[in-house]
Amino acid sequence: MPSIARDRFARWIGARSDGRPLAAFRRAFAAIWLAYDAVDVVWGMTERSRGWFPHPRDGRLVLLQLALVASGTMLVLGKRIWTFGLTAAVARGLEALFFFPLNDFYYGSVMYLLVAHSDGGPCAAHGRLQEPPDERRAPKWVHDVLLLEMAWIYLATATLKLSPDWLGGGHLFVRTQYLALGLGWPYPAFVAHALGNLAVDAALAKVAVGLELALATVLVARGPYWLGVTLAVTIHAVGALLTNVWFFSASMIAGVVFLLPRPPSRARPKPAA
């Protein structure tokens, strides 16, 4: 039995599949976070978040941000994917560990590490693949693990929300009122009025848990595609407006859109002669 499991694992690791969805996700993911890092290095958002009072910038953080900008640019261009994917994973991890322990940064570090293997990993980087890297063929396990990683995120967040604080609407109430009253978020009047009602917030909180559990199931089952994309767009579009989480939301939508298997397209019948 152990030998059978090892053989299946070896075949899975060695298998290759259509690499175009993985390449499209890599570019989209890198572009989304490149935009974040470019804004971050110019405006110093992470710096201000970790120290609210005026203070000089930490040169170490600036170096990490510049490394992320350079790595993101190269990943968008598809150049030296292993080297720059690994560089981005390390830089994002160090940013989270030493400067701002944001869940989005830990998530980004893991995703960059997986993306670094999308053209064959270190073997491709050192020319040890039996065939040259080709975006049309990519390691199957990277695609599979990315889907499972996203499914785990939805399952874990939905499970963590099964608490009175979230299900009662209190957490959502505080977030939306802070955005509306503290930051002047431009909610339409009827939306602002509804979000000020704890019962409405509680209903939205319960719907969010159900949608996240449903999307986790769709990702594990690898379809249906249309349902997964609809759930992802709904969850993250509404979530971004209510909780001010944008870059993570965009990258998760990109993951579902590009990595969830699409149904085979039906060939159109040729017109009769």
Split at pLDDT 50, 70, 90, the class of 133 is low
Same structural domain, 66 and 144: no
Q: Confirm whether 273 is domain-assigned.
A: no
Top pLDDT among 49 and 214 is at 214
Q: Give residue 123's pLDDT.
A: 64
Q: Looking at the predicted structure, is the pLDDT value of residue 250 above 60?
A: yes
- 111 shares its domain with 150: no
> Mean pLDDT, to the nearest integer, of 28-35?
98
Q: What is the pLDDT of residue 24?
A: 96
* 91, 129 contact by CB (below 8 A): no
For residues 153 and 45, membership in a common domain is answered with no
Q: What is the mean pLDDT of residues 221-244?
A: 95
Altogether, the residues listed in the chain come to a count of: 273
User: Do 82 and 162 share a domain, yes or no?
Assistant: no
Whether residue 222 lies inside any domain: the answer is: yes
Q: Is residue 4 part of a domain?
A: no
pLDDT greater than 90 at residue 272:
no
Domain boundary among 121, 150, 185: 121
Spatial contact of 100 and 46, defined as CB atoms under 8 Å apart? yes
For residues 204-233, give the mean pLDDT. 97
Query: What's the mean pLDDT in 257-270?
Result: 78
Q: How many structural domains does the chain have?
A: 2
What's the count of helices (H) and strands (E) in the chain, helices before strands?
14, 2
- Do 92 and 204 reside in the same domain of the chain? no
Asked, for residue 12, whether it belongs to a domain, the answer is no
**Residue that wins the pLDDT comparison between 46 and 68:** 68
What's the pLDDT score for residue 127? 53
Please check whether residue 270 lies inside any domain of the structure: no
* Last residue of one domain, picked from the residues 89, 121, 153: 121
Q: What is the mean pLDDT of residues 6-10?
A: 82
Read off the pTM.
0.90
Q: Are residues 87 and 191 in the same domain?
A: no
Specify the pLDDT at position 1: 60
pLDDT of residue 229: 98
Asked if 97 and 48 sit in the same domain, the reply is yes
> Do residues 97 and 164 share a domain?
no
The mean pLDDT of 137-166, rounded to a whole number, is 94
Q: Identify whether residues 115 and 146 lie together within a single domain.
A: no
Structural contact between residues 258 and 24, judged by C-beta atoms closer than 8 angstroms: yes
Is residue 246 situated within a structural domain?
Answer: yes
pLDDT at 12: 85
User: Biggest alpha carbon distance in the chain?
Assistant: 77
Q: Let me know if 139 is exposed, middle or buried by CB neighbors in 10 A (0-12, 13-18, 19+).
A: buried
Statement to judge: residues 172 and 101 lie in one domain: no
**Mean pLDDT confidence for 225-241:** 96
User: Among residues of the chain, what percentage have pLDDT more than 70?
Assistant: 91
Proportion of the chain in helix, strand, coil states, percent, rounded to 5: 75, 5, 25
* The Cα angle at residue 114 between residues 85 and 18, in degrees rounded to 5: 105
Name the 3-class secondary structure at 139: strand
Same domain, 115 and 180: no
Examine residue 62 and state whether it is found in any structural domain, yes or no.
yes
Q: Do 167 and 235 belong together in one domain?
A: yes
DSSP element (H, E) containing 16? strand 16-18
Please give the Cα distance from 8 to 248 (Å, whole number): 34
Does residue 128 form part of some domain?
no
> Domain span at residue 56?
17-121
